[in-house]
Chain A
Amino acid sequence: QKEVEQDPGPLSVPEGAIVSLNCTYSNSAFQYFMWYRQYSRKGPELLMYTYSSGNKEDGRFTAQVDKSSKYISLFIRDSQPSDSATYLCAMTGYGGATNKLIFGTGTLLAVQP
C-alpha cells in the first residue's frame, strides 16, 4: 500500500464550479498536511498548510483534514481558469519514518472558461 494515495484525475470542470480534491494516507504518524499547486513546467508551490485535524480556509480555498479516517481534502470555490494546474497533497510528521515530505501522485485540474 502506498503511503499517500491521491485521486488521479484528470479533472475538467466549467468556470465557477466547486472542485473537490482528495488524498488518503496510511501512516497515522503524519501530523502536517499540505497542498501544493504546480503549473506546467514549474516547481510546486505551497497553497495550503494544515496541522492535525480540522478545516482551514484561505479565500476560495478550504483544506480539510480528518485524521480518524486518514483523509484530506482541498475544496476550490468559484473555480477560475487560472486555477488550472496540478494539485499535489503532501504530508510529514515528527521524526522517525515521517520526518520527510511525502507527496501524492497529483491531480491535473482543467477549468474551462
Chain B
Amino acid sequence: NAGVTQTPKFRILKIGQSMTLQCTQDMNHNYMYWYRQDPGMGLKLIYYSVGAGITDKGEVPNGYNVSRSTTEDFPLRLELAAPSQTSVYFCASSYSENTEAFFGQGTRLTVV
C-alpha cells in the first residue's frame, strides 16, 4: 500500500540549476498538492490540482511550475534554483477538497 510516493528524498542543487520533484499516488485521488515547509513556518501551498489537466497557484508559486497529465502524477519543476528555495517539499493527495489529505515523506532540497 504505497500511498503518496515522493522522489528524491534528498537533493543538493547548485544555484541556477533545474530539477523536477516527482510525486505519485495510487489512491485514485482527484486532488493533489505541493507544499513547502520552512522551519517554524508551517506548510505553505505552492500549487494544487483538482484533477488531471487542471492546476492552480497557491500562496507561493513563484519559481515553480507543475503539470498534471495523469491522475496519479503531479511533478513539481524548479527552474533556475535559488537559495530561497531551500526547504522541505511535501506532496499530498485527497479524494476531494474536504477529505483527509495523505502526505508523502518529503523531499529535502538544499540550494547552494
Contacts and interface: CB of A to CB of B under 8 A. Distances in A.
A31 interface: yes
A44 B43 contact: yes
A89 to B, nearest CB: 9
A52 B50 CA distance: 23
Contact of B45 (A44, A46, A102): A102
B41 to A, nearest CB: 6
A106 B97 contact: no
A98 B48 CA distance: 12
A78 interface: no
Interface in A68-94: 88, 90, 92-94
Given A44-B103, A106-B42, A100 B48 contact: yes
B35 A103 contact: yes
A6 B94 CA distance: 23
B97 A101 contact: yes
Contact of A46 (B41, B101, B105): B101
A42 B106 CA distance: 7
A103 B98 contact: no
A45 B103 contact: yes
Nearest to B6: A43
A67 B44 CA distance: 23
Contacts of B92: 43, 101
Residue of A6, A31, A44, A101 with highest tally of chain B CB at under 10 A: A101
Contacts of B58: 100
